[in-house]
Amino acid sequence: MSTRYNTFIYISAGILFLFVARTLLAVRLPMPRLNDLFIALTVAGSLVVLLKGLGQIKISDWLIAMGAGLLVGVTMYYATLFTPYDFLGIVQGNIAQALTRGVCTCIAMLGGLTIMRQGGAVRVSLAQGDVWKTFASLFIGLAIGLPLAILNVFALQFTQGQSITWQNPLAALSDALQPALVEEIVYRFAFLGLVWLALQRSMPQSANWQAGLLVLFVHNFMHFDDLWFEAPFVALGMGLVMALVWGVPPTILALRRDLESAVAFHWIQDAARFLTGF
């Protein structure tokens, strides 16, 4: 096998090891959730990239990153429908979660923007000064995401065996920013960018999509912490379905257009879910 695939194999093996090791240990010991572990790793990687590339960051990048962090922090503080797990099993309550999620989002955004300035796989149209493209991307993400958001509600009704319970629409729209902003910035921007950095020398022609594919599976499979040791084949099946239906579209949007379109797609999924009581 060509050595140009070595980095891809090493990264894949490292990700698989993290999933397997965490699952095996969680059977006997209290362990952080997979999402927490990947967020911590991504934030750490973003800090390293940021410190190395400080000269490439523009003032507008700092403003965008701080704005994203502030938006996440404020909406988390007032969140009523979105209740995240205790981060690393330690961070509890809306105030602590708001600070933690806001800071992590800000750092991940800065790391992703640093990589973007180095030619990274995912763009932020707002950071490139294209406000009109940002608005167009938000519309495109919403238009593509709406049919799948409706499908998701029906799927949740079927799998959870409960009917729709309408919630406060303002709370649903606001709280949906939490998973949309945090997960897309951390996973489909910063984490994808870090994987792209590792791959782009050995696989310059396909690094974008190879990184996107790896991050797609990580982002979808990390949702099934307990299910991995309770019913691993069920977790595998559900993860593959989620990856195909709800993971591929935002990945394509992020890689082919920009981060804003992926955020909009993700946001409409959770807005519909929160609005209908799931």
CB 158 within 8 A of CB 256: no
The pLDDT, as a whole number, for residue 161 is 81
91 phi/psi in degrees, rounded to 5: -75, 120
pLDDT (mean) for 107-126: 97
- CA 65 to chain CA centroid, Å, is 15
Any bridge partners for residue 91, and if so which?
Answer: 87
- CA 45 to chain CA centroid, Å, is 15
The pLDDT, as a whole number, for residue 2 is 56
Cα maximum dimension of the chain: 56
pLDDT (mean) for 167-177: 97
Q: What is the mean pLDDT of the chain?
A: 93
For 54-102, the DSSP string reads: GGG--HHHHHHHHHHHHHHHHHHHT-SS--PPPBTTTB-HHHHHHHHHH
pTM of the model: 0.94
User: Within a 10 A sphere around the Cβ of 204, how many other Cβ atoms?
Assistant: 11
The pLDDT, as a whole number, for residue 118 is 95
CB-side exposure of 3: number of CA atoms within 13 Å? 1
Angle between helices 6-26 and 192-199 (to 10 degrees): 140
CA distances from 14 to 8, 38, 56 (A): 10, 12, 29
Whether the predicted pLDDT of 40 surpasses 70: yes
The pLDDT, as a whole number, for residue 3 is 67
